[in-house]
Amino acid sequence: MYYVQGQTGEWEVVIGLEVHAQIISDSKLFSGASASFGAGPNESVSFIDAGFPGMLPVINEKCIEQAVKTGLGLKAQINLRSVFDRKNYFYADLPSGYQISQFKHPIVGKGEISLDLENGETRVIGITRLHLEQDAGKSLHDQSADDTFIDLNRAGVALMEIVSEPDMRSPEEAGAYVKKLRAIMRYLGTCDGNMDEGSMRCDVNLSVRKRGVKELGTRCEIKNVNSIKFVQQAIEYEAQRQVEVLEGGGKLVQETRLWDTGKGVTRSMRSKENAHDYRYFPDPDLLPLVLEASMVEKIKAELPELPDEKKNRFITEYGLKPYDALVLVAEKATADFFEKAAKGGDAKLTANWVTTELFGALNKLGKSIEESPVSEEMLKELVGLISDRTLSGRLAKDVFEDMLSSNKTAKAIVEEKGLKQVSDSGAIEKIIDEVLAANADKVAEYKSGKDKLFGFFVGQVMKAMGGKANPTMLNELLKNKLGK
């Protein structure tokens, strides 16, 4: 368990997250303007996004399906009737003066996410709700010394706000939650989860309480944290800060804070606003959203396999260790890569190669698995050569290195360099005899009990054979020869 050690004892940290996830959809929630990232300023803006009077919102069916899909992926209650409300506030990048959101009646109710933690434990975190809302525009303060510019491309883009229960207890759990939520949405194709492009943003709610205390403490909300690392750093800092305030005899006020990336601290932004500050009311331009049960059923029937199910299948179908399965399913692209490469071959060995050699190489190259210079087919061929004993593990690593830089197939490299492993017992035996004859003194030492020398003989034979001796055979033959 994670506790903050204070002057007066241990404090438990309580965390609830609100995640804003941009829905993958061609157009915005209530307009036909493009929702894609990267257009020039104000190029994707319709009259309704710009808040022109008299324009009527028309709901985008695709966004509703995406929200339902995400809800089902979170094992949540889908509400067949939900209501769009206006959340009123004034800001330059919100031309209509209100954001269309859902308040009392969200499209998705209670659900859950299960987290796999480092220590192998599983933790289930409650989802309170998921609702649909419009994003606001963007104020650009850094384009000119005197002026602020407004870009409305983002205004009206569909967001899902996903609110968790205050169930998390450590930075690790919060990080695991964001990762898992992102993985689920990526598997579903409902949000790309790119935090650095702002398509997933996170508000961290945090309070502390003395270990053993039941009641929740006063919370602060840290707005718009845009990476998992920052979520975790903000939690560490804020928990410590709250403990110090309370132990110093101070009182916490419920407030909204900012994470200052440069200084690594949270700073007060404004005192916490309440729902009534926004004067929510049902948007008179929109009817309640009523879904057909059959639509939900259809989406449910077509849901893809999600990370938890895939992990379990990898364990039962391929006999993978739970940890390896977990690592492979964390990103859908990795899971797909593994399955393609493992098809019809040695799945455990393939899993090993993906999680160690391939990950290591990609890490060094700074590439994602989609950009891997070694394709699924190429890895499959390499693992096949280990399985059929053409290559030892040692030689395979050299071949793999070569593949990374030359883009050649394993077979081509083996052919070219004459790397074929020697599995001819006669040939190995011949070298063993030579090595033992040349080291008669060591053989005598070995026979009188110096077992460690076995490795020395193996090394000498390997060296003499340019690393190409089949290691299993070499071991067997050597044992026989030495009579032990």
Q: Which residues bind ligand ADP (CB under 6 A)?
A: 14-18, 163-166, 205-207, 216-217, 219
**Least distance (Å) from ligand ADP to the CB of residue 103?**
9
**Least distance (Å) from ligand ADP to the CB of residue 203?**
7
**Least distance (Å) from ligand ADP to the CB of residue 344?**
46
Q: Which is closer to ligand ADP, CB of 165 or CB of 192?
A: 165
What's the maximum distance between 2 C-alpha atoms anywhere in the chain?
99
Residue 152 · residue 137 · CB < 8 Å: yes
| Residues 274, 241: Cα–Cα separation, whole Å | 23
Q: Which is closer to ligand ADP, CB of 223 or CB of 420?
A: 223
**Least distance (Å) from ligand ADP to the CB of residue 132?**
16
Q: Which is closer to ligand ADP, CB of 205 or CB of 372?
A: 205
The dihedral formed by the CA atoms of 78, 80, 81 and 84, expressed in degrees to the nearest 10: 50
Report the residue count for the chain. Answer: 484
Q: Which residue in 341, 379, 336 sits closest to 361, CA to CA?
A: 379
Q: Which is closer to ligand ADP, CB of 275 or CB of 287?
A: 275
List phi, psi (to 5°) of 429: -60, -40
Taking CA atoms, 455 is separated from 25, 441, 444, 452, in Å, by: 61, 15, 15, 6
* DSSP character string of 181-244: HHHHHHHHTS----GGGTSEEEEEEEEEEETT--S----EEEEEE-SHHHHHHHHHHHHHHHHH
Tokens of 418: 């004459």
**Least distance (Å) from ligand ADP to the CB of residue 287?**
25
Q: Which is closer to ligand ADP, CB of 15 or CB of 83?
A: 15
Radius of gyration of the chain (CA): 30
| Residues 43, 34: Cα–Cα separation, whole Å | 9
Q: Which residue in 87, 114, 81, 95 sits closest to 53, CA to CA?
A: 95
Tokens of 368: 């994602």
Q: How many beta carbons lie within 10 A of that of residue 402, not counting itself?
A: 18
Tokens of 85: 């409300």
Q: How many beta carbons lie within 10 A of that of residue 201, not counting itself?
A: 19
**Least distance (Å) from ligand ADP to the CB of residue 233?**
18
Tokens of 419: 């790397």
Q: Which is closer to ligand ADP, CB of 163 or CB of 443?
A: 163
Q: Which is closer to ligand ADP, CB of 112 or CB of 346?
A: 112
Q: Which is closer to ligand ADP, CB of 240 or CB of 425?
A: 240
Q: Which is closer to ligand ADP, CB of 87 or CB of 468?
A: 87
Q: Which is closer to ligand ADP, CB of 108 or CB of 474?
A: 108
**Least distance (Å) from ligand ADP to the CB of residue 354?**
36
**Least distance (Å) from ligand ADP to the CB of residue 28?**
24
Q: Which is closer to ligand ADP, CB of 44 or CB of 102?
A: 102
| Residues 443, 457: Cα–Cα separation, whole Å | 9
Q: Which is closer to ligand ADP, CB of 255 or CB of 346?
A: 255
- Classify 476 as helix, strand or coil: helix
Q: Which residue in 262, 275, 211 sits closest to 239, CA to CA?
A: 211
**Least distance (Å) from ligand ADP to the CB of residue 17?**
6
Q: Which residue in 172, 183, 287 sits closest to 231, CA to CA?
A: 172
What single-letter amino acid sits at 370?
Answer: E
**Least distance (Å) from ligand ADP to the CB of residue 324?**
33
| Residues 89, 227: Cα–Cα separation, whole Å | 27
Residue 79 · residue 67 · CB < 8 Å: no
**Least distance (Å) from ligand ADP to the CB of residue 349?**
43
Q: Which is closer to ligand ADP, CB of 174 or CB of 188?
A: 174
**Least distance (Å) from ligand ADP to the CB of residue 373?**
42
Q: Which residue is nearest to ligand ADP (CB)?
A: 16
| Residues 430, 438: Cα–Cα separation, whole Å | 13
**Least distance (Å) from ligand ADP to the CB of residue 220?**
9
| Residues 339, 348: Cα–Cα separation, whole Å | 11
Residue 282 · residue 84 · CB < 8 Å: yes
